């Protein structure tokens, strides 16, 4: 009995040590995930994406460039070719989707911020929000087009979940800025930064 009791105590101590180590490991993993997320967010800081843009036959980078330049002119913030470091249409997992998002890496955060601001102003002021005709299309002109800043995989997931808070009418505002997701209950409430899926679920239950 004494031997079994001593053995049991040893097992308890080992389990406690394993639990402590597991907690430390989880904290380390979370810290590394936050670092990676921060690095990925930094790599996207000058990048925007335009979704639902119709695809033209034998589409080239020059076609995409002209679309974005035309759009910038229509929202009263004309940019030129040198303001764009890179542009391409992203592939989608769904092969039947023909019009994947157009990714635009701009020359600076200032250009990106000001262009996004002008696009939001345009959508607020005009009943006919940004659509294909504003990118120069002569066909499918009324196809709605959606512009947003490029988010990391985690950021896009959090933004998707956070929008459910506004759909449920628990929160009035949900937006992103520099890759970070924010929500706000109403005009007089404090702004909340969304950092995890668990946080969204908790806010939904409150």
Please state the domain extents for the chain: 45-149, 153-205
- Please indicate whether residue 10 or residue 109 has the higher confidence score (pLDDT): 109
pLDDT reported for residue 12? 86
- Read off the tokens for 90: 């992203």
Tell me what pLDDT residue 4 has: 77
- What is the sign, positive or negative, of the torsion defined by CA atoms of 152, 155, 157, 159? negative
pLDDT band (50, 70, 90) for residue 2: confident
Residue 133 near residue 141 (C-beta atoms within 8 A): yes
pLDDT of residue 160: 93
Give the tens place of pLDDT for each residue, 133-156.
Answer: 999 999 889 999 999 999 999 999
Report the predicted TM-score, pTM, of the whole model to 2 decimal places: 0.79
What's the pLDDT tens digit per position in 31-75? 898 888 888 888 899 999 999 999 988 999 999 999 999 999 999
Task: Quote the pLDDT of residue 180.
Answer: 93
φ, ψ for residue 109 (rounded to 5)?
Answer: -65, -35
Each residue's pLDDT tens digit, 171-180: 999 999 889 9
From the CB of residue 164, how many other CB atoms can be counted at a distance below 10 Å?
A: 15
Check pLDDT > 60 for residue 170. yes
pLDDT of 3 reads: 76
- Per the prediction, the chain carries an average pLDDT of 90
Q: Say which DSSP state 182 is in.
A: E
Q: What is the pLDDT of residues 124-135, one digit of tens each?
A: 999 889 999 999
Residue 83 is classified by DSSP as G
Which tokens go with 89?
Answer: 């249409």
CATH number of 45-149: 3.30.70.1820
């Amino acid at each position: 009995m004494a031997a079994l009791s001593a053995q049991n105590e040893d097992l308890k101590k080992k389990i406690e040590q394993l639990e402590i180590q597991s907690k430390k490991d989880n904290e380390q993993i979370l810290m590394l995930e936050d670092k990676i997320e921060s690095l990925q967010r930094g790599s996207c800081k000058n990048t925007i994406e335009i979704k639902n843009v119709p695809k033209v036959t034998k589409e080239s980078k020059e076609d995409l460039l002209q679309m974005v330049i035309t759009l910038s002119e229509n929202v009263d913030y004309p940019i030129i070719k040198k303001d764009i470091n890179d542009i391409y249409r992203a592939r989608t997992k769904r092969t039947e989707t023909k019009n994947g998002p157009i990714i635009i890496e701009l020359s600076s955060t200032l250009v990106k911020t000001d262009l996004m601001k002008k696009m939001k102003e345009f959508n607020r002021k005009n009943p006919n929000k940004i659509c294909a005709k504003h990118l120069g299309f002569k066909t499918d002109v009324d196809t709605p087009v959606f512009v947003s800043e490029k988010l990391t995989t985690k950021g896009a997931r959090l933004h998707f979940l956070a929008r459910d808070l506004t759909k449920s009418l628990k929160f009035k505002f949900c937006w992103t800025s520099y890759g970070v997701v924010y929500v706000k209950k109403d005009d007089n409430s404090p702004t909340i930064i969304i950092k995890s899926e668990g946080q969204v679920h908790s806010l939904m239950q409150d």
